[in-house]
Amino acid sequence: MIKAERTPGFLHLLRMSGGAPWLHMCIRHRETESYLSSAAGLDNLISAAMVSEDTRSRLRVHGQGVMVLLKAMRLRADGVGHPEDMVSMRIWIDEGRVITTREEDVDPILELAEDISQGRGPATPGDFLCDLIEVHLAEASEQVEKLEDGVDLISNMLVHHQTEAACPSMANTQTAISGFLRHLGPQRAVLQKLTTLVVPPLNTNHRGRLEDHLNQLLRLLETLVNLRDRIDILSDRASRIQERQLNQSSYVFAVVSTIFLPLNFVTGLFGANLLGLPFADATNGFWVLVGLCLLMSVGLVAVFRWFKWL
């Protein structure tokens, strides 16, 4: 594997405490695939999958090794994960080595690389896979908890009828939940297969750890489905609140229009430049007309109150 250091796709070659090497390469170099299939001796299908840009979480066993493809989190500077930032981790493990490839750095790989560089971290390829999935699910759990807090905040906003602030947050949360379900859902089948897989890199202890990881993933998926249902309910509540607010505004507008409609008629009628209009020659004619309009307005308000329309 030392030869990999002379290839353009080489990123690092670290040695775990148990002695097994970990080779990490970049898929953006054409030489990476040829190295994997020739010098590393991987099957052509495995090599092609390890450098494919568009991957789906899956597992493939070949000989004494296993390839695992998973979607992992890449956090932004604000520490918030976004589904569109989930990129593939491509891992090959056999009894004596670990090979990973990437298109972009993901946090679980970076964290394990730092641990191994400092003499900590996994000792064997099986430990490497278990630790990698553990870090990946820990980050996903943290982001799901933030989504839960966000849904609680949206619910509190709607209790106080703050729909203008709640609706944008609701849309962003729906998008995030959908993205996490899309990327984490297929990983259930991968972990289920790993818990029953009998290959040299994985022993009984590894399978037990992977079963715990599977249970954690299932809890995450259940939480995400529950959050999606809650968001749907909150969205319906927000729609009803907005509809009620619109109806109230329309009702007030209709009442005000009804009160002022006869006043407009009276003032328009007395504004005609024709002879014979009442109070045309009266000194206090204007104030009489104003008084009549006020009496009419008070009468209309009283009628509305009588019929409980106000």
pLDDT values of the chain reduced to their tens digit, one per residue, 310 residues: 667 888 888 999 999 999 999 999 999 998 999 999 999 999 999 999 999 987 889 999 999 999 999 998 876 555 566 676 788 999 999 999 999 999 888 889 999 999 999 999 999 999 999 999 999 999 999 999 999 999 999 999 998 888 888 888 898 899 899 999 999 999 999 999 999 999 999 999 999 999 999 999 999 999 999 999 999 999 999 888 888 888 877 877 777 777 777 778 777 767 766 566 676 667 777 787 778 788 878 887 787 778 776 6
The residue whose two tokens read 């890449």 is 74
CA distances from 206 to 14, 63, 130, 190, 229 (A): 21, 19, 7, 14, 35
Question: What single letter denotes the amino acid at residue 272?
Answer: A
The C-alpha atoms of residue 236 and residue 226 are separated, in whole angstroms, by: 16
Distance from C-alpha of 112 to C-alpha of 98, rounded to nearest angstrom: 12
Secondary element (H or E) of residue 104: none
Q: Which of 275, 299, 279 is nearest to 289 (CA)?
A: 279
State the burial class of residue 284 (Cβ atoms within 10 Å of its Cβ: 0-12, 13-18, 19+). exposed
Determine the Cα–Cα distance for residues 4 and 116; give it in Å rounded to an integer: 19
φ/ψ of residue 121, rounded to 5: 85, -165
